[in-house]
């Protein structure tokens, strides 16, 4: 990110999320064109960032949506997604949320348990509808990522495990208002070790064969999201390598003729276009540590506190000599520290600090703890370039 910020930026209220629209559009176009080449279908994981302007850009490019709540379905529809391209996952769908899905004739309910299948069947029957469903399979694959964003091990709450498949088939004979059309998988997020995806493919192949041998001609396979991004050097890798990612599935998945392959990318689409911009409130010089206290906190970006996640931190205002600081927020929690021992140019009150790669699981996870305000957002195409040189990323 360009470190020069003009005086005009001083008028902007921080903390706020800044989104680079050009980068978002380029990322969306790259992912879509690489998917189109192979006939793959993309459902953007709305949970990563549900800012309406971001959703509109993504859906205008032809993405479907992967939703995990009734409100995400409603927001996605408002922002232009085709309801026939909405998948609905989540272990705890309420009756109201299931009805929202049924009323919008979504593509599939990704069912995470047999009791959930029974409930969707009951609600579909009440509406005189048949619900198209996927079985979300827990493939017992280690995503080799942080334990809180690992979802595909047998001890995780997500999905239905292989030992319950016979019961699922028995249930499907009784539940006349469900139509099984797909198998769904999602083993975790921020996956950097591509061998994980190879293992997912091998598990998908055996489950796909298992259902085929029992007479299910499933039209769709959905392998979820999970592709990681470069948090350490975002300017080197602003757009994830979608071509190589899709090639793994092309080379390792054995789809049956006519089967369509779906993905649910979230982070890989939106993370790099967003930065959390904050101002320095105080610089505390200690005996062993120097602290930069900024006006953004874990309420604005919880990833470092929740997952020990790393975000590259930049001082946009200073060209001074390098010093080492802990960069912390104002919240009354010791976990409210964005990073320790960060090398920054000499920093003073009023400097602008950017926390990079914050477009995914940032704004959307903001809370009002300590009764703080929810951060605002600004898009690069809304600020005249002369007023804000941050535009020139």
Q: Which residues bind ligand PLP (CB under 6 A)?
A: 45, 48, 66, 89, 186, 189, 224-227, 264-268
**Cα separation, 235 vs 307, whole angstroms:** 23
From 216, 210, 237, 367, select the one nearest 301 (Cα to Cα).
Answer: 367
In the three-class reduction of DSSP (H, G, I as helix; E, B as strand; rest coil), residue 349 is classed as: coil
Closest CB to ligand PLP among 268 and 299? 268
Smaller CB distance to ligand PLP: residue 48 or 355?
48
Alpha-helical (H) ranges within the chain are 21-38, 52-60, 70-78, 95-103, 114-126, 165-174, 195-213, 242-252, 267-270, 303-307
CB of 61 to ligand PLP, least distance (A): 16
Whether the CA torsion 194, 197, 199, 202 is positive or negative: it is negative
Cβ-based nearer residue to ligand PLP, 139 or 225: 225
CB of 68 or CB of 316, closer to ligand PLP: 68
Q: What are phi and psi of 233, to 5 degrees?
A: -130, 70
The length of the chain, given as a count of residues = 393
Task: Tell me how far, at minimum, the Cβ of 108 lies from ligand PLP, in Å.
Answer: 12
- Alpha-carbon span 383 to 363, nearest angstrom: 19
CB 349 within 8 A of CB 281: yes
Q: Which residue has the tokens 């350490």?
A: 232
CB of residue 155 vs ligand PLP: minimum separation in angstroms? 16
Question: CB of residue 12 vs ligand PLP: minimum separation in angstroms?
Answer: 28
**Tokens standing for residue 284:** 């505390």
Q: Minimum distance from CB of 142 to ligand PLP (Å)?
A: 15
Smallest separation, CB 361 to ligand PLP (Å)? 7
């Amino acid at each position: 990110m360009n470190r020069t910020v003009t005086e005009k930026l001083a008028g902007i209220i921080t903390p706020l999320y800044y989104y680079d629209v050009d980068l978002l559009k380029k990322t969306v176009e790259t992912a879509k064109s690489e998917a189109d080449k192979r006939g793959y279908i993309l459902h953007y994981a709305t949970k990563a960032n549900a800012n309406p302007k971001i959703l509109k850009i993504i859906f205008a490019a032809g993405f479907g949506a992967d939703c995990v709540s009734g409100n995400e379905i409603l927001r996605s529809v408002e922002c232009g997604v085709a309801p026939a391209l909405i998948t609905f996952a989540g272990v705890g769908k309420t009756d109201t949320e299931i009805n929202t899905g049924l009323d919008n004739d979504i593509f599939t309910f990704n069912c995470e348990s047999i009791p959930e299948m029974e409930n969707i069947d009951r609600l579909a029957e009440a509406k005189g509808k048949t619900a198209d469903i996927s079985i979300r399979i827990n493939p017992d694959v280690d995503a080799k990522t942080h334990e809180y964003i690992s979802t595909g091990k047998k001890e995780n709450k997500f999905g239905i495990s292989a030992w319950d498949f016979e019961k699922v088939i028995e249930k499907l004979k009784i539940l006349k208002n469900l139509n099984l059309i797909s198998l769904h998988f999602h083993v975790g997020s921020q996956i950097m070790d591509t061998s994980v995806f190879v293992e997912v493919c091998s598990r998908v192949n055996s489950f796909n064969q298992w259902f085929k041998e029992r007479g299910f001609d499933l039209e769709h396979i959905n392998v979820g999201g999970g592709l990681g991004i470069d948090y350490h050097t975002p300017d080197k890798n602003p757009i994830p390598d979608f071509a190589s990612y899709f090639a793994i599935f092309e080379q390792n998945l054995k789809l049956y003729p006519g089967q369509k392959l779906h993905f649910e990318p979230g982070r890989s689409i939106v993370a790099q276009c967003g930065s959390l911009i904050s101002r320095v409130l105080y610089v505390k010089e200690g005996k062993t540590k120097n602290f930069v206290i900024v006006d953004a906190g874990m309420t604005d970006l919880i990833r470092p506190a929740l997952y020990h996640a790393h975000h590259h931190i930049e001082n946009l205002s200073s060209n001074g000599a390098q010093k080492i600081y802990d960069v912390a927020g104002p919240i009354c929690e010791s976990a409210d520290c964005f990073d320790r021992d960060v090398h920054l140019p000499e920093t003073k009150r009023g400097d602008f600090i950017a926390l990079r790669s914050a477009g995914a699981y940032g704004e959307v996870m903001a809370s009002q703890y300590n009764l703080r305000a929810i951060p605002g957002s600004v898009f690069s195409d809304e600020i005249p370039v002369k007023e804000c040189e941050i535009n020139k990323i």
